[in-house]
Amino acid sequence: GKSADSNTSSSLIVDAETQFYTGYINSGEGKTVKITNLGAGTNNRAEVCRFTSHATKFNTAGTVLYYAFLMTANDAHSWDGTNGVDANEWRDVFCIAEGGNDLPGNSYRGRFFIQQDPTDPTKVNYSICKNTSFTTAAPPDAFGTINAGQTYLMVIKQTFTGDGTCKVEVIANPELSAAEPTTGWINGKPGDTNTFGGTYAVALRSRGLGEAADIRISGLRVATTYASVLGISTGLNDVQYNASIKAVAKSIFTDVPGTLKVYDFSGAEIFSSITTGQLDTNLSKGFYLVRFASVNGAVSSAKLEIK
């Protein structure tokens, strides 16, 4: 948590419900973090992923980091503490932690904001900036709109300029292709002059949310290329999932002969082998991604658990 906050490092809710998004490599995996109202005026932050140290934080000119995650904003109302009612202010729920010498997340940047649309309760607005707070009086210069209650794939792009800062952009439901979109990226405050000394972690935040607030985030991936953050390098996003591909103990079964490729969840290929319908493996216990090309030319994939 941020050391200056009175309510620091409060645990967010880990929910057993799984989120799905067709074609995304982390679809249906793991649990969700449920971000809700944790008390009137509460300002809680929880670091969920650290990938470098203060000394080796990302800040080199030309470096690009991508962050992909699934989000369902069932209710994104804020809390009006003065009047004791739900409101429609912007609230940041996903942040990128800048490297520092104090507590994790003491310098939050790359702040991803959402807002329950003031005119249509079925809509939620979203935007991002380096550090500037968005309010009704000072809204973002640009924002997008999504449907409340629907799961979206959000991708954040962070480009370092080498002068102690960076540029942050976000896109919702981009095409699942190795080619990075040239349009659709949103920067909520291009003129934000805040510095951004480097990146070393990701955090989620519950800040002044309404009583019925319910935002769910899962499937986080961080990578240095657009294709990698979506898992495009495995080719699994381009195929249909096949429920007939099954694992029993350490063996993988298919209905027909073909070729199996097995990947871990970082997208790295573990091995490839021809199978006649049963392939015995030496895989360790855990979850894997499988891409199967049958002798008939049909390509499909599955997520399997080796026990």
| Residues 90, 76 contacting (CB under 8 angstroms) | no
Sheet holding 278-280, edge to edge: 246-248, 251-253, 278-280
Question: Rounded to two decimals, what is the model's pTM?
Answer: 0.79
Residue type, 219: G
**Cα dihedral angle (98, 102, 103, 109), rounded to 10 degrees?**
-20
Residue type, 24: Y
**Other Cβ atoms within 10 Å of 169 Cβ, number:** 17
pLDDT given at position 233? 66
pLDDT given at position 263? 86
User: Strand 240-241 to strand 299-306: parallel, antiparallel, or no bridges (unpaired)?
Assistant: parallel
Collect the ranges in the chain with pLDDT lower than 70: 1-11, 39-45, 47, 52-56, 99-106, 233-240, 266
pLDDT given at position 8? 47
Q: Phi and psi dihedrals of 56, rounded to 5?
A: -120, 25
Tokens describing residue 166: 């960076």
H helices of the chain, in order, are: 226-230
For residues 87 and 162, what is the distance between their CA atoms, to the nearest angstrom?
A: 39
Which residues, at least 6 apart from 280, have a Cβ–Cβ distance to it below 8 Å? 250, 251
pLDDT given at position 54? 59
pLDDT given at position 5? 46
| Residues 33, 205 contacting (CB under 8 angstroms) | no
Structure letter (DSSP) for residue 130? S
pLDDT tens column, 54-84: 566 777 888 899 999 999 999 999 998 888 8
For residues 175 and 29, what is the distance between their CA atoms, to the nearest angstrom?
A: 20
